[in-house]
Chain A
Amino acid sequence: MRTYLAHRLLLSLLAVWGVATLVFFVLRVIPGDPATMFAGPSATATQIEAVRTRLGMDRSMLSQYVDYTGDIAMLNFGTSYRWNRPVLELIVERIPATALLATAALVIAVVVGLPFGLVAAAQRGRWADRVISVTSLVGQALPNFWIGIVLILVFSANLRLLPSSGIGTWKHLIMPAFTLSLPLLGVLVRLVRAGLVEVMNEDFIRTARARGLSDETVIIKHAGRNILIPVITMIGLQFAQMLGGTVVIETVFGWPGLGRLLVDAVGTRDYSIVQASIVAIALAYAVVNLFVDLTYGVLDPRVRVA
């Protein structure tokens, strides 16, 4: 188990390092002077010189890259010209908001998605199944940021029930979290339905039924456990999409998270923040995937690693 863990940890770190490398080259290969870019549009000549020294622009690309990797490893992301504060501070400040939003969306997707998938499978072929299946397919396909706009239109602009932007009470959270949950919600319903329908034909289900167990016990304990692995995998895979989704959804709802920070930083050409927030998002993604991989062993003894 320990070697496996170490191996997976190493792979995750490699992925983050790869992303950091990609960001380094993308931001330095572009036409223009990176020092001017990182110093910001209103920087004075001395400020640009200071950044140039910090980035080591006079040295070779390779030695700059080595320094950069060291800086990232030490979480030293430099200073934002716009906020005049360490980038790390700005990032750390924004993490709770994004984590709250993503977690709430995940909870909504699971709490709503699993029961609906179960009902669809149990009512297979009947109208409840049709309604749920079609709704989930459509819901998954729709651009969720537009659904967010429609929600604002209905619940904020017209009914005046919920605030259209900002953070604070649960009322602020409900629309962005629901909007963000939609793609995962749709996938989960379909996955649970398809998985259950398939599993219900297995011999061990027939055995359980023959032993006189109730439908609920059979579905939840016997069939349910078998579809947990694909469900967890899908949640993990979709979490990446969700992290990406926060960028757009946070902009729609004026949610002060990491994604909003990134978009604003691109708008104000604050490249120190752009660089750092992308590395932060990649790191979060790697952590989630690692976590997903490790839960397999707990859920399915067959893949328990030595």
Chain B
Amino acid sequence: MTAASAKQNSGPLGGAMPGPDGTSERLSDGGATTGPAAQPRARGPLIATRRNKVRALRWLAVPLVLFVLVTIFGPMFYEFDPVAVNVMARSRPPLTRLADGSMTWLGTDQLGRDILGQLLLGARVSLLVGVATIVIGGGAGTVLGAVAGYAGKTIDNVIMRLADIQLSIPPIVLAILLMAVLGQGVSTLIITLSITRWARFARIARSAAISVKERDFVLAGRALGARSPRILRRHVIPFLWSPLVVVATLEVGSVIIAEAALSFLGLGTSAHQPSWGLVMANGRSYLSQAWWISTFPGVALSLVVVSIALFGDQLRDILDPKGLSR
């Protein structure tokens, strides 16, 4: 990334935010920035300072926080029974008042189930699967990769050949195989997607572990008598932190899409558990009569994954400019 592209990243957002908190930030930055701060006049606004980037990142986090809040609290304020079928209110367009006097904001599906209610419950599936998969799959991948890189030899070979096998099959195809065998449901989704995601983390962790293995601080740790698990935990894994946080963020988005895709194919959540992909699949057959069924879950999914992508991209710019996470 060059200065120009960095500017383009944070320019529109960073520049548009005069930021009421600007003063406090300048104070908190203290003397550390006087060096670079003395120069920027010359090259002017082309240089996006780290501070601007962080400020942009904060704004990019807003939609994600909103998503999490709506996911947690939404269903508490919006009563909805995903199993109840209401034949009197089938395929009603958005903003229709139903016979019982209630308003359907986003319309109802072909069985009269409220779309907004399904989306709120579906958001929980997306968030849960996305985060749990990254914690489990990403965690396992990181540990395996760090161990492989640090230990080398046979252990490295075994772990990385497994990763090769996993990476030589498109993740969605592997996921289809596993879902077909394990059966539908949220927990199998998490297990399945974890199995399809660990290898990417393992590769990054491994390459970083190899590069850190011969560094002085690791050698010093070993000279002081620290055992391998301790060195891995205290020296190697913290070193991996930045690229891994970036990859984890971006991967949450792709896991959420994968979950939606599997549910769309009928291999994700069970029929009683509304998920965005499942609602989209329901609406696929009614596109010409009821456009809203497939449209709104897609809008929700897109908003979430695009927010994650923008946030992750900015995060990468700040945490991992050298691009280990690419």
Q: Hey, which chain B residues are within 8 Å of A125, CB to CB?
A: 4, 7-8
Question: Are A285's CB and B169's CB within 8 A?
Answer: yes
Q: Hey, which chain B residues are within 8 Å of A172, CB to CB?
A: none
Known interface pairs A157-B288, A285-B168. Does A26 touch B178 (Cβ–Cβ under 8 Å)? yes
Interface of chain B, main secondary structure? helix
Known interface pairs A137-B313, A262-B173. Does A26 touch B284 (Cβ–Cβ under 8 Å)? no
Q: Hey, which chain B residues are within 8 Å of A15, CB to CB?
A: 164-165, 168
Query: Quick check: is B153 within 8 A (CB to CB) of the other chain?
Result: no
Question: Are B301's CB and A146's CB within 8 A?
Answer: yes
Question: Are A149's CB and B280's CB within 8 A?
Answer: yes
**Bound complex: CA A23 to CA B168 (Å):** 13
Question: Are B253's CB and A141's CB within 8 A?
Answer: yes
Query: Quick check: is A282 within 8 A (CB to CB) of the other chain?
Result: yes
Known interface pairs A130-B8, A137-B309, A157-B287. Does A149 touch B298 (Cβ–Cβ under 8 Å)? yes
Q: Which of A47-55, A110-118, A203-211, A236-244 contacts B (4 or more CB under 8 A)?
A: A236-244
Q: Hey, which chain A residues are within 8 Å of B291, CB to CB?
A: 153, 157
Give A269's nearest chain B residue, CB to CB.
B180
Q: Which of B1, B173, B284, B306 contacts A252 (CB 8 A)?
A: B284
Q: Hey, which chain B residues are within 8 Å of A193, CB to CB?
A: 5
Query: Quick check: is A30 within 8 A (CB to CB) of the other chain?
Result: yes
Residues 250-262 of A, flagged 1 when their CB comes within 8 A of B and 0 if not, give 0110000000001
Q: Which of A27, A149, A267, A282 contacts B168 (CB 8 A)?
A: A282
Query: Quick check: is B151 within 8 A (CB to CB) of the other chain?
Result: no
Query: Quick check: is A109 within 8 A (CB to CB) of the other chain?
Result: no
Q: Hey, which chain A residues are within 8 Å of B171, CB to CB?
A: 244
**Bound complex: CA A26 to CA B178 (Å):** 8
Q: Which of B12, B173, B177, B295 contacts A26 (CB 8 A)?
A: B177
Known interface pairs A15-B164, A16-B168, A22-B165. Does A143 touch B173 (Cβ–Cβ under 8 Å)? no
**Bound complex: CA A125 to CA B8 (Å):** 6
**Bound complex: CA A6 to CA B288 (Å):** 54
Question: Are A26's CB and B181's CB within 8 A?
Answer: yes
Give the shortest distance, in Å, between A250 (CB) and chain B (any CB): 10
Give B250's nearest chain A residue, CB to CB.
A141
Give B298's nearest chain A residue, CB to CB.
A146
Residues 293-320 of B, flagged 1 when their CB comes within 8 A of A and 0 if not, give 0110010011001101110010000000
**A side interface size, CB within 8 A:** 57
Give the shortest distance, in Å, between B126 (CB) and chain A (any CB): 11
Question: Are A153's CB and B295's CB within 8 A?
Answer: yes
Question: Are B266's CB and A267's CB within 8 A?
Answer: yes
Question: Are A142's CB and B180's CB within 8 A?
Answer: no
Q: Hey, which chain B residues are within 8 Å of A16, CB to CB?
A: 168
Known interface pairs A18-B165, A138-B306, A274-B180. Does A244 touch B313 (Cβ–Cβ under 8 Å)? no
**Bound complex: CA A86 to CA B154 (Å):** 41
Q: Hey, which chain A residues are within 8 Å of B284, CB to CB?
A: 149, 252
Question: Are A248's CB and B165's CB within 8 A?
Answer: no
Question: Are A247's CB and B295's CB within 8 A?
Answer: no
Q: Hey, which chain A residues are within 8 Å of B161, CB to CB?
A: 18
Query: Quick check: is B62 within 8 A (CB to CB) of the other chain?
Result: no
Question: Are A240's CB and B170's CB within 8 A?
Answer: yes
Q: Hey, which chain B residues are within 8 Å of A248, CB to CB?
A: 172, 261, 264-265
Question: Are B176's CB and A266's CB within 8 A?
Answer: yes
Query: Quick check: is B2 within 8 A (CB to CB) of the other chain?
Result: yes
Q: Which of A18, A141, A267 contacts B305 (CB 8 A)?
A: A141
Question: Are A27's CB and B181's CB within 8 A?
Answer: yes
Question: Are B181's CB and A247's CB within 8 A?
Answer: no
Query: Quick check: is A140 within 8 A (CB to CB) of the other chain?
Result: yes
**Bound complex: CA A43 to CA B125 (Å):** 37
Residues 25-57 of B, flagged 1 when their CB comes within 8 A of A and 0 if not, give 000000000000000000000000000000000
**Bound complex: CA A251 to CA B291 (Å):** 18
**Bound complex: CA A143 to CA B171 (Å):** 15
Give B308's nearest chain A residue, CB to CB.
A141
Question: Are B309's CB and A18's CB within 8 A?
Answer: no
Query: Quick check: is B129 within 8 A (CB to CB) of the other chain?
Result: no
What are 10 of the A-B contact pairs (CB < 8 Å)?
A18-B164, A125-B8, A133-B8, A141-B308, A153-B291, A197-B2, A247-B172, A262-B176, A267-B266, A278-B169
Q: Could you list which residues of chain A lie within 8 angstroms of chain B, going by C-beta atoms? A: 15-16, 18-19, 21-23, 26-27, 30, 124-125, 129-130, 133, 137-138, 140-143, 145-146, 149-150, 152-153, 156-158, 164, 193-194, 197-198, 201, 240-241, 243-245, 247-248, 251-252, 262-263, 266-267, 269, 274, 278, 281-282, 285-286, 289
Known pairs A19-B169, A143-B257 / 20 extra A-B pairs, C-beta < 8 Å: A18-B165, A22-B165, A26-B181, A30-B181, A124-B8, A125-B7, A137-B309, A141-B302, A141-B310, A146-B260, A146-B301, A149-B287, A153-B291, A247-B172, A248-B264, A263-B176, A274-B177, A278-B173, A278-B177, A286-B168
